Chains A and B, each alone.
Chain A
Amino acid sequence: MSQSNVRKTRSWLLFWRGSDKGLAKCKTVTFGDPAAVEGGAIYGVLSVLTVGIVWQLVAMAQIVPPLFWPSPGAVFDKFIQIATEGYKGFNLFEHLGISLYRVMAGFGLGCLFGIPVGLGMGLNRFIKGWMDPLIEFYRPVPPLAYVPLVIIWMGIGDGGKVLLLFLATFSIIVISARAGVASVAIQKIHAAYSLGASRWQVLRHVILVNALPEIFTGMRVAMGVCWGTLVAAEMVAATSGVGWMVLNASRYLNTDIVLMGVILMGVVGFLIDMCMRKLEQKLIPWKGKGRG
């Protein structure tokens, strides 16, 4: 075997099996060492398989009536059926698309306004003074609590749902952008001024870039919260969307559709987070390495 093949096999093993038998073999203290929990993807696969098997076994044993506990196969059949025939006028991907559109709109607007407001709060006493009580006041209120208000004010269109998701995103982004500004080492700012940068250039080339890792972490959290708030948002008198589909199906005790929707939302949420993590690695490769 060539050198690079050995290395590939080694990293493959590390990824799937973990480091306790691999690289960390020579260490005697592994309990408490973060390196001891690296890798081990195989256990994740096993865990998902186990859940699937238990699910199937319970369904086959008919301990719980299929109405409440449909089998994995039945749920998959529903998935195919709704993907091709649709559910109440829209097919599955249209429901998904509508939901994604709402999330993206609310999330996008939240970032668009949240980043400048957060930067402003981190840089200016007046902006901080004005915005701080407002944001601190509404931030702890769960979005579900202002659904009725949103219906009263915005009606049942997409606007209300987007507003709800916007509010959920906005406070998270503001706080992370503000923390990002606060995290800049004063030497960096001093260095930039000494290199002849103007105020505007310091903002753009030092403060903003320096805040990007924090802002991006905030965006990932906000995206998770948004996706989670979606069901609440689609309770605002919707007639489409995966959140609405789940709620609607539960009324008719279509447990298979409910389960399918829940799994679908989980998978899509996971995929979104994975994309954002990849994007983060690409856009912010220096994250966590700030010793320059």
Chain B
Amino acid sequence: MSELRVQGVTMTYEGADGQPVRALENINFSMNQDDIVTVLGPSGCGKSTLLNIIAGFLNPTSGRVFIDDREIAGPGPDRGMVFQHGALFEWLTVGENVSFGPRMAGIDATSRLASVDELLQLVGLAGFRDTPIYNLSGGMQQRVALARCLANNPDVILMDEPLGALDALTREKMQTLVLKLWQETQKMVFLITHSVEEAIFLGSRLLVMAPRPGHVVKEFRLPFAAAGLSADPREIKSSREFIAVREEILEMIWSMEEQH
């Protein structure tokens, strides 16, 4: 049972004009095994900053992040990353991308091969093991990115707008895949998105953030992710409960925009 804790994280950048930019102010939350947390908020509210601190790419100005009892002090294979685009290694095949982590860890080629085929099966890319990355569509590339981070068996998967560059139809399919991976692998998922609908549909918990300084305004606990695989996604998204939450969140975001 792993757990991720963010304790009093504050981040102040030095802006271009020398003025401090308060990107995050005193963020506190924790998540565990059953959680898929989605984060929503207007541009510049510090979502990516928070994710990069959890990933270990940024040191917070103050505050700490723990996975179980280990304090985070840099990037590591216990936290898998999925970026919006451009993070796959285009000089490697699909299979070589997926087995990159195990290869770096020195795991031998034959045992790598078996797990690669399993993972490709899981993300719906069976038979693409030897295809070059650049011959895949955007949606397929994101499937590779998901398989690649799962290959390391991380405790948590961090995603910064993973589906943001995809067309609407592919995006819906990929949302279902994210839910499937979350349920089958039992990993914590932390996912940033700009789509209100996506945040509600995918999040068992949803954090709404506001800018200047970046902070969490409200947390929702939602039932849709848990139901997402057994029912028709379109039905869920047009259900009364779903629409009620959506309107509430849109209201909050609109009022944030008006204040500035």
On A, residues with C-beta under 8 Å from B are: 185, 187-188, 190-198, 201, 205-206, 209-210, 212, 284-286, 289-292
CA A286 – CA B134 in complex, angstroms?
Answer: 7
- B39-80 Cβ-contact flags toward A at 8 Å (1 or 0): 000000000000000010100000000000000001111011
Report the minimum CB–CB distance from A198 to chain B (whole Å): 7
Contacts of A289 in B (CB 8 A): 90, 134
Whether B149 and A188, one on each chain, are in contact in the complex, defined by CB atoms closer than 8 angstroms, is no
On B, residues with C-beta under 8 Å from A are: 55, 57, 74-77, 79-81, 83, 85-91, 97, 100-101, 104-105, 132-134, 141, 148-149, 152
Report the minimum CB–CB distance from A206 to chain B (whole Å): 7
Whether A187 and B87, one on each chain, are in contact in the complex, defined by CB atoms closer than 8 angstroms, is yes
Contacts of A192 in B (CB 8 A): 100, 104
Contacts of A187 in B (CB 8 A): 83, 86-87
Whether A191 and B81, one on each chain, are in contact in the complex, defined by CB atoms closer than 8 angstroms, is yes
Report the minimum CB–CB distance from B38 to chain A (whole Å): 20
Query: Given A188-B89, A201-B104 in contact, is the A196-B152 Cβ separation under 8 Å?
Result: yes
Which of B55, B91, B97, B134 contacts A194, CB < 8 Å? B55
Whether A195 and B104, one on each chain, are in contact in the complex, defined by CB atoms closer than 8 angstroms, is yes
Which of A190, A196, A284, A290 contacts B101, CB < 8 Å? A196
Contacts of A206 in B (CB 8 A): 89
Q: Which of B80, B89, B133 has the most CB of A within 10 A?
A: B89
Contacts of A185 in B (CB 8 A): 86-87
Sample (25) of A-B pairs whose CB atoms are under 8 Å apart: A187-B86, A188-B86, A190-B83, A190-B87, A191-B81, A191-B83, A191-B148, A192-B100, A194-B55, A194-B76, A195-B100, A195-B104, A195-B149, A195-B152, A196-B104, A196-B152, A197-B104, A198-B104, A210-B91, A290-B90, A290-B134, A292-B86, A292-B88, A292-B133, A292-B141
Whether B89 and A209, one on each chain, are in contact in the complex, defined by CB atoms closer than 8 angstroms, is yes
Contacts of B83 in A (CB 8 A): 187, 190-191
Whether B81 and A291, one on each chain, are in contact in the complex, defined by CB atoms closer than 8 angstroms, is no
New contact pairs (9) apart from A192-B104, A195-B152, A206-B89, CB-CB < 8 Å: A185-B86, A191-B88, A194-B76, A194-B79, A196-B101, A205-B104, A286-B133, A290-B134, A291-B85
CA A228 – CA B79 in complex, angstroms?
Answer: 53
Whether B91 and A286, one on each chain, are in contact in the complex, defined by CB atoms closer than 8 angstroms, is yes
Report the minimum CB–CB distance from B73 to chain A (whole Å): 13
Chain A minimum-CB-distance residue to B105: A196
Query: Given A206-B89, A209-B89, A286-B91 in contact, is the A190-B75 Cβ separation under 8 Å?
Result: yes
CA A286 – CA B89 in complex, angstroms?
Answer: 10
Contacts of B75 in A (CB 8 A): 190, 193-194
Whether B132 and A285, one on each chain, are in contact in the complex, defined by CB atoms closer than 8 angstroms, is yes
CA A191 – CA B57 in complex, angstroms?
Answer: 10
Contacts of B57 in A (CB 8 A): 190, 193
Report the minimum CB–CB distance from A216 to chain B (whole Å): 12
Contacts of B81 in A (CB 8 A): 190-191, 194
Query: Given A194-B75, A194-B79 in contact, is the A292-B90 Cβ separation under 8 Å?
Result: yes
CA A191 – CA B82 in complex, angstroms?
Answer: 8
